[in-house]
Amino acid sequence: MGGNVETMKKVVEQTLTQGNDYVEYMLHSSEYMPGGSPTFQNERDIERLYADLEAFFSWLAPQVKGMTLAEYYQRKITQR
């Protein structure tokens, strides 16, 4: 499993190109451990996931500012 960094990049590029001012990433904590989901069955799958995430977030970091949903909400209401 894994190996979908390029797909994740395309999703971000499309999202930002469409004028959206946010990109949301979510994964349940159970998915970060072997057997926690059908996609990540063993230690090798999890290591591949972490490698993908590291590559993806290294690429993404210069383009966006990380924040919580509460921070995003505060930013939006102060921009009104």
Give residue 5's Cα distance to chain centre: 10
Contact 25, 72 (CB under 8 A): no
pLDDT band at 2 (very low <50, low <70, confident <90, very high): low
pLDDT, one tens digit per residue, over 42-58 is 999 999 989 999 999 99
Token reading at 69: 């949903």
Contact present, 34 and 42 (Cβ < 8 Å): yes
